[in-house]
Amino acid sequence: MRRVSFIALVAMGVLAVLAVACDGEEGSEPTAEPSLTSVPVTSTGTVGASPTLVPATAVGTVEATVPVGKIVFISRRTGDYEIFLLTPEGEVRLTNDPAEDENPDLSPDGDKIVFASNREGTYHIYVMNVDGSNLVKVTDDPLGDMSPRWSPDGKRIAFSRAGAMTVMDSDGSNVQKLIEPKPEATAPLCEAGGFLGDWSPDGQRLTFYAASATRGVGQVCTIKVDGSDLKVVASEPPAYHVEPTWSPDGQWIAYRFIQPDGNHEIYAIRPDGTSSTDLTNNPAMDIEPAWSPDGQWIVFSSARVGDNFDLYMMKPDGSGVARLINSPGKDSDPSWGP
């Protein structure tokens, strides 16, 4: 999923529902505006602007070739979440830090990665080059930010703050909250705070999800980047609809549907809420979909072999499933870039 670790989720009781497939999500929601700076990280140890690039074939086996571009993802194979990069040439580890590095997203030009990390105790948003160099912290809220996503033009980053969809310039300036969450117990679900999914390919809308254990539901929603025109996309049947991501042509939103029987499937739906389709139809947990830049593939994480989560890819109609990586640790939270 676009991994989230929020006080609001815990308060709603949703964390236990999602954590069954998304372990290691600890963190907290901010309550105040941060003092935003773009500061190169130069502390000693394994945190810094000169990362350790480690070929990952010793601990993970690449089983299928990435047909286009590159995929950034996180893996717990080393004991904590680190960021890895998978390309047609193989796999490389980009971060080497005892903290949790999560939510990676490739920039539209494929040159940078934005991600969230608690390497200072709380989750902040960082940007680095695609080779792991030039690490810069772009948020500094005392309680943390998560789930960053690049805008299609690469000039802005959207993320989740206190349940609010938030947008800032890529250097951390010009922060704007799009919606102020209302009380979860009484507000329409998509107005009660949510967790970021993705930008529409034209940069005009964001998709996000809101979940409530007290109601036993999660909904996929969209909103304009000026905070207007809030829409519910996926809410039926009543269950958990989460982790939405827009197709490059804007015609579909893929998401994870936690069915009433507890199974986790990848679905696709039109942005107007029609034509919902089960793409995976598998008894294993299928989570965290992301589209390839050409829209011809969807990468996702699945526990299809030995209950361990590995990365898989499939065609947008659910055919052509292939396992990309076989590693002893959980591989998840993929983002596919050029």
Which tops the pLDDT comparison, 318 or 36?
A: 318
Which tops the pLDDT comparison, 60 or 70?
A: 70
pLDDT at 265: 98
- pLDDT bracket for residue 59 (50, 70, 90): low
- pLDDT bracket for residue 143 (50, 70, 90): confident
- pLDDT bracket for residue 25 (50, 70, 90): very low
The tokens describing 272, both together, are 């107007």
* Whole-angstrom distance, CA of residue 325 vs CA of residue 312: 7
Q: How many residues does the chain have?
A: 338
- pLDDT bracket for residue 194 (50, 70, 90): confident
The strand pair at 325-326 and 331-337 is best described as unpaired
**pTM assigned to the model:** 0.86
CATH superfamily of 7-337: TolB, C-terminal domain (2.120.10.30)
Asked which of 36-45, 57-66, 116-125, 172-181 is least confident by mean pLDDT, the reply is 36-45
Phi, psi at 307, each rounded to 5°: 65, 15
- pLDDT bracket for residue 27 (50, 70, 90): very low
Specify the residue for token string 């991501």. 245
Which tens digit of pLDDT belongs to each residue from 285-323? 999 999 999 999 999 999 998 889 999 999 999 999 999
CA dihedral for 255, 211, 174, 202, sign (positive or negative) = positive
* Whole-angstrom distance, CA of residue 70 vs CA of residue 137: 23
- pLDDT bracket for residue 36 (50, 70, 90): very low
Which tens digit of pLDDT belongs to each residue from 210-264? 988 788 899 999 999 999 999 999 999 999 999 999 999 999 999 999 998 899 9
pLDDT at 183: 83
Which tops the pLDDT comparison, 334 or 37?
A: 334
The vertex-232 CA angle with 230 and 237, nearest 5°, equals 165
- pLDDT bracket for residue 185 (50, 70, 90): confident
Which tens digit of pLDDT belongs to each residue from 67-124? 999 999 999 998 999 999 999 989 999 999 999 999 999 999 999 999 999 999 999 9
**Per-residue pLDDT averaged across 197-201, rounded?**
97
Asked which of 56-60, 68-72, 159-163 is least confident by mean pLDDT, the reply is 56-60
Residue 35: C-alpha distances to residues 30, 142, 143, 175, 177 (Å): 12, 9, 12, 10, 15
Q: Which residues of 204-234 are buried (b: 16+ CB within 10 A; e: fewer)?
A: ebbbbbbbbbeeebbbbbbbebebeebebbb
First to last CA, the chain: 20
Q: Tell whether the model's pLDDT for residue 1 goes beyond 70.
A: no
Question: Taking Cα atoms as reference points, which of 187, 211, 51 lies closest to residue 119?
Answer: 51
Most confident of 100-104, 162-166, 178-182, 193-197: 100-104
Specify the residue for token string 């009543």. 238
pLDDT averaged over the chain? 84
* Whole-angstrom distance, CA of residue 333 vs CA of residue 103: 6
pLDDT at 15: 40
Element of type H or E holding 11: helix 7-12
